[in-house]
Each structure stands twice: as C-alpha cells, then as structure tokens.
Structure 1
Amino acid sequence: MKRLIILLVAFLAVTLCLSAPAPAQAAGKQFTLVYESVYPKGHMRFLVVDDLLDRIEANSKGRIKFERHYGGEPVSKKEALNALSNGVIDLLMAYPTYYDGKIAIGDWQQMPSNFRGWEDCWALGVAGPVAAIMDKAYSKVAKVKYITCTPVAPYNFQVATRAHKIHKTADFEGMKIRSAGGSASIAIKMLGASPVMTIGGEYYQAMQKGVVDAGLMTTYSLKQYRLWEVADQVVNPPLIGYAAGFLWMSNKAWRKLPKDLQEMIIKTARAKDLWAKWVGIYEKDQDGPIIAEAKKRGVEFYVLPPDQAEEMYKKTQPVWDWYVKQCEKQGLGAEAREVRKVILERFNKGK
C-alpha cells in the first residue's frame, strides 16, 4: 500500500510538471528586431516613427525590443530595401520613391492631387483599400510586409525673391522649378514649367544663383534649408496634398512573430490617434512658428483662387497615367489602376 501511494504521488508530480508551461513560454518568446531609418536621428518629421516603435515595445510587454539605427546605417539608403528583403535588417523607414525602379506601387504618396488633407491619407493609405493593396504588392514583389505609412507633410511651391510671382496657374509657365525627380518632374512639365532635379541640400544654392525660379518642397524647408533668405513667396494649396513615409518589415521577421504580436503591431502602427497627435505637432509646434518667422522676413503666403487651384490639379492629374505605366512594367498594373481610382475619386469629390 505504501508503495502504491508513493507511485501515485510521483505520477501526480510528473503530470503537474508536464502540464505547467515553461518560464519562457509563460512569459512569451522575446524578439529583438533591427530597425533602420534612412533619415538622421531627430529629423522633425520622423520622430513619429520613434513614438510608434515605443508604443509597440510597450504594448508587447517586453516581448519585442527594437535595435534602432538612423541615417542609412547599417546599410546604405540605396541598398536598404534589398537588405530588408533578404532579412539583413528587420524593419525599414523610407520614402517608397527611392525604390520605384524595383517597385513603384507606393509612389502615390508623393503624387499630385493625392489628398485634400492628412485624414484622407490615413483613411486610404493606413486604414483603407490602398493599404490592403500595398500589403499584397510589397509582399509579392519585394518580399516585405507593409506595416503602415506615417505623416510627413504637404508639398507646396516656394518662389525665389528674384523671380516673378505666382497668382494664377498660367504663371507657372516658363519657370524653372526644383523637383526631386519622378512624378514631381512630370507634374511640373504639365504646368508648362521646366523641372530641375535638385537634392534638398542643394536647394538653397540653386535658388540663390538662379538655377531655379521656384521649387516644390515642404513648408518646413523654409527653416531647414534657410529658404526664407532667398524666397519671398509660398504658393498654396499644395500640389502634393500629403506625403508620407513607409514602414516595412521583412517577411522573414514578420513570419517569426506569433499572431497576437502581428495583430498588435498592425493595430498600434495604424492607430489614427498617432497621426492626429503628430500632425497637430507639425502644424502647431513646427510649421506654425516657421510660418510666423517667414512672414516676419517678408515671405508672402499666397493661396491660389479655388478655380485656379482646380486648374492646377486638372493639368497635373495625367501624371497618374505615368504611375500606372510604371507599375505595369513591374506586373502591378491592375493594382496601380485601383490605387489611382480610389485616390482620385476621393480627391475629386472633395472639390
């Protein structure tokens, strides 16, 4: 009898040990993910991504930790998407236009007539049908997971002090206008102007020396590139209603995560309150003081009359045909046509 009791106790002990979760399983496996931003640490329009990563770490309750790198480290901006595809890094923040030679489907984020405001960008590109298309297209072509896009800014025109001023759409004709290339250059041509491809760091000198008469850039560039020293007019409404940066994760890293963490990441990264918070900071704490200082320096903030603004948009909307053709070459023509349809329908209803 005594032996039977001992055997029963031993059996119960073994059963309890086998049924109890191991410490690592109870706490959940921990994941360290390597994040790269092609932008320098502290860039005023990408602090939102650090906030996003902080939120994910907090919501994971210690299960996710990001190893953060900035300014094109550990791989160069040019090679970053390939590195992400191959699993060299786990997450990447960049403009999709940097990689449109490989996949151009994300170029909507810097197209003319894309959005009337940030709410439209969030509704379509973060929480809506455009986001769903991005997810499938990037996974198929680039082997990366589209996590979200984050707010950057509208793109308006800055006009050099020495150049004639813009008061109607026809005034763009004959001007030399700075662009970053791609769709922006085509849009400028459609306005009857000549695009001059110039990187941000060369913009001030180009305007100062008369290489360009105006430029397509952001309001914060007035301070960032000291344009308020060489420009005396800003023209709104913005040609590019709202631009956004893209955050991707490698498929390899994404598939390693359990479903509950995947769902948490998407929910956290695509939260509307994140956008609302940072757009508020941009407008109140960043652009607000910049506009006030620019006005003190004599910069005029001119708004085209509604009929002239719509004429500007009408002239440049055919750039979307170029977008579709680029995507067709990459096997994503149907997806691009749907993106064009969804975005332009919403934009044109907002007249």
Structure 2
Amino acid sequence: MKNFKGLLFIVSFVFLLAACSADGKEASSEETFTLKYNSAFLPSSQEWHAKAKATEEFARLVEERSEGRIKIDIFYSNQLAGQVESLDALAKGTIDLQNITPVAWGDKIPEGSFTALPYWNINEEHSLYIMRETEIGKLYEEEMEKYGVKMLSYWPASATGFMSNKPIRSVSDLKGLTMNLSGDLLADFYKKAGIGVATIPYAEQYEGLLRGTLDGIQFPFSSLEDYKLGEVIDYITKPATISPALGIVAMSQKTMDKLPEDLQKIIIDTAIEMENEGVAASKRLTEESLIYAQENDVDIINMTKEAYEEMRQLHKTTTWVNFAAKNDRTKKMVELLDGETEKWKKENPEMVKEFEKSFGE
C-alpha cells in the first residue's frame, strides 16, 4: 500500500509538471527579458515630445506594465549599430528595438522613402491614416516583415519645410538659390527648379547658412530653436513640405517571437498608445516652433494655394516619379496616394479647413 501511494504521488507530480510546462506559458511566467533599444537620435529635450513618448515613455510603461518582466535599455545616437547597419542588426536580433526615420533604410527597403515625398501629407491624422489604414502602409510594412523586422509604431516629428535667407513664395523663388541635398530623391526637382546643390552634413548647416554657402534648407521647423538655426535664418515657408515628418519604432521579429504572448501584447499595445499620444505632441511642437520664429524675427511666409499646387505638381513630376520608378510596390504607393487623400479629406472637412489656413492671399 505504501509503495502504491508513493507511486501515485510521483505520477501526480509528473502530471503537474507537464500541465505547467506543456505550452511553456506557465513555466516562463516569471522569466525576465532585457531588450536593447538603439535610437538614431539624441535624447529628447522635453518629456512631452513625440520622440520621448516613443522612446523613454514607451520603455518606462512596458517595464511597469510587465511588472518588471521586460526591461528596456536605451542607447542613443546609434551607439549599438550605425544608421544603415541597424536594419541588419535588428533582423539578426543583435539589437531588439530601433528608433529611426524610414528613409534611412531606403536603400534596402525603398518603400520607406515614401514618407520623405514632399507634400504627401497635410497633418498628423492624415499621415497615420495613410500609413495605418490604407494599402500604402501595408506595402511598406510587408517589406519590413520580409526583412525580419516588425513595425511597432510611427511617431510624428512635427513639420519640416523651407527655411531660407531669401523669401520662398513660389517655385520661381527657388531659382538661383543654393540648398542642401541629401540622397538622390530630390535631385530632379532641384534641377527643374534651378536650385544649386550643396552637400553639407546636417551638423554643419548652421555654419553654411551663416557664411552664405547655403541660401536655404529643408529641415524641421523645430531646429530653429534646437539647432539655433533661428540665428541664421530669416524666413520659413508654409505649408510645410512634409507635415509632419515621421519616425518609426521597429522590433526584431526574432526577439518578438521569443516573448510570451502576454508580453508581446504589452509591447504592441503600448507602442500604439505612444503613437496616438504623439499626434498632439507633434502639433504642439510645430506650433511652438512657429511662435519661436515670430519671437526671433524669422518671417513666416504663407504660400498662396496656387503657388502650393504648383510646387506640389513639380514634385509629383520629379520626386514622386523617381520614387515610383524604384519598383512595382513604390509605383503602386504613389498611384494610391491621391485617391486615398481625397477620401480622407471628404471624411475630415474641418481638418482640411484648418490646413487651408496656411495659405496666403
């Protein structure tokens, strides 16, 4: 009888172990994970910035909501992997998370350069609609997935546009100006508009504008304060050429697959929450940048609607065409854009009215 009871205890114990570990969830419920988050950027200067929400706030909330089962170590200024190399590092699982601009991976995932097309968007809500709710965004994210990278979130980085030492009200005002050019996407536009080309690192643009090597740049309006460009810039032009610019947070699919489902959900849900909170933060940053311009003797020029449409059309026949020519998927993205934008405008007339306030008389 004693032997039978002992045998029964052993069998029961084995079954209990099997039940706890059959699907791995119970057995791994206390396992902890430390993730390496590589950012292409410096730390945010304000905790309310969309970039801060996508980085510091995201990491804090994930650790809190996972009750310490996930810890995220952040490394700024591409400390773990260079801007270009970070894509392969992410795919291999060498790093776990990356904050970057889509165009930085444009050579390997051309679809990401879509977000650098001038005048493709008019505000934060429109941008997220295009990237989240249309085939355009799906085409991009599918290519990311093929590379072994999962898109977590977009973060709007406020408006980017013309900043110059001569007023830019229309295409004709661009002729004869020397402007900075990065990459080949805008090369044909520069040529058609009569813009002289300079290739200067972003960190040296202040000096170039100060010395007259540059007459103007296309750069975030927030850099008037952040990079002190308000000291060497006389004019900014609205509407912005990209409104807003977008950053992304991406994750290694290998890392994601290692996590239990409940932790995966925490990461995904928190990333989307930060994406949504970034909308108001981006709008605020643009508004504060315009106020800074006014307070520091930088004139704000409002293009007429006709001048805006002329500028946009020239980009459509140069920059957009160059992007579309990269492959069949980029071609389809461009083909879909205007139709999806018109659909969004019909559903959001108040936002369209707000955008049109940027036009001058």
TM interval, short-chain normalised: 0.7 to 0.9
Q: For 1:155, which of 160, 175, 182 is the aligned residue? A: 160
Q: 1:303, CA displacement in angstroms?
A: 1.0
Consecutive unaligned residues of structure 2, counting only runs of 5 or more, are 346-351, 353-361
More displaced stretch, 310-319 vs 176-185: 176-185
* 1:56/1:104 CA distance change after superposition, 3 Å: same
Paired residue for 2:51, among 46, 50, 64?
46
Residues 288, 121 of structure 1: alpha-carbon distance in 2 compared, 3 angstrom cutoff: closer
SS in 2 for 1:270: helix
Aligned residues: 337
Q: Distance in 1 between matches of 2:228 and 2:10?
A: 78
Q: Distance in 2 between matches of 1:341 and 1:263?
A: 34
Moved over 6 A (4+): none
- One-letter code aligned to 1:69: F
Residue 149 of structure 2 contacts residue 253 of structure 2 at CA under 8 Å; is this kept in 1?
yes
Amino acid in structure 1 at the alignment position of 2:237? V
Q: Is the 8 A contact 2:180 2:199 kept in 1?
A: yes
Matched, 1:262 2:280: no
The two structures have a TM-score, normalised by structure 1, of: 0.84
SS in 2 for 1:242: coil
SS where residue 158 of structure 1 aligns?
A: strand
CA distance in 2, matches of 1:194, 1:269: 41
Q: Render the CA deviation track for 1:49-84: whole Å, top value 9, x for unaligned.
A: 222333333333433221221111122224222222
Residue pair 2:33, 2:71 contacting (<8 A) in 1 also: yes
Q: Say whether 1:278 aligns with 2:255.
A: no
**1:303 has 2:302 as partner:** yes
Rate the CA distance shift 1:180–1:279 in 2: closer, same or farther, 3 A: farther
The alpha-carbon deviation at position 107 of structure 1 amounts to 0.6
Following TM superposition, by how much is the alpha carbon of 1:301 offset from its aligned partner in structure 2, in angstroms? 0.9
What does residue range 1-351 of structure 1 map to in structure 2 within 5 Å? 3=2, 6=5, 10=9, 14=13, 17-18=16-17, 21=20, 25=27, 27-42=29-44, 46-50=51-55, 51-140=57-146, 142-160=147-165, 163=166, 165-271=167-273, 274-284=274-284, 286-318=285-317, 319-326=319-326, 328=327, 333=328, 335-347=329-341, 350=345
* Range with greater deviation from structure 2 (111-120 or 238-247): 238-247
Specify whether residues 101 and 10 from structure 1 end up closer, same or farther in structure 2 by C-alpha distance, changes over 3 A only.
Answer: closer
Q: Any idea what SS the aligned residue of 2:71 has?
A: strand
Aligned partners of 2:210, 2:182: CA distance in 1, in Å?
18
Q: Identity of paired residues, percent?
A: 23
Deviations 1:129-157 (A, max 9, x none): 333222221222x3322222211122111
Kept in 1: contact 2:244–2:282 (CA 8 A): no
Contact 1:126 1:149 in 2 (8 A): no
The Cα of 1:193 is off from its aligned counterpart by 2.1
Quote the Cα distance in structure 1 between the aligned partners of 2:252 and 2:336.
27
Q: Kindly provide the CA deviation profile for residues 4-34 of structure 1, in whole angstroms up to 9, marking residues without a partner as x.
A: 9845873685367436637962735332221
Q: Which range moved further: 101-110 or 174-183?
A: 174-183
* Distance of aligned partners of 1:10 and 1:24 in 2 relative to their CA distance in 1, 3 Å threshold: closer
In 2 relative to 1, CA 194–133 (structure 1 residues): closer, same or farther, beyond 3 Å?
same
d(CA) in 2 for partners of 1:88, 1:14: 39
Q: Which moved more, 1:220-229 or 1:24-33?
A: 24-33
CA contact (8 A) 1:110 1:242 kept: no
1:146-169 deviation digits (Å, cap 9, x = unpaired): 222211122111111xx3x22333
Change in Cα spacing, 1:37 to 1:45, as seen in structure 2 (3 Å) is: same
TM (norm. structure 2) is 0.82
SS in 2 for 1:183: coil
**Aligned-partner Cα distance in 1 for 2:83–2:157:** 18
8 Å CA contact 1:113–1:347 kept in 2: the answer is no
CA contact (8 A) 2:134 2:340 kept: no
- In 1, the alpha carbon distance for the partners of 2:190 and 2:62 equals 40
The structural deviation recorded for 1:295 is 1.4
Residue pair 2:324, 2:333 contacting (<8 A) in 1 also: no
Deviation at 1:298, TM superposition (A): 1.6
Contact 2:54–2:275 (8 Å) recurs in 1: no
How far apart in 2 are the matches of 1:235 and 1:14?
Answer: 73
Moved more, 201-210 or 49-58: 49-58
Q: Could you say which structure has the higher strand fraction?
A: 1
1:258-291: CA deviations, max 9, x gaps? 34433443333224xx34533323443x444443
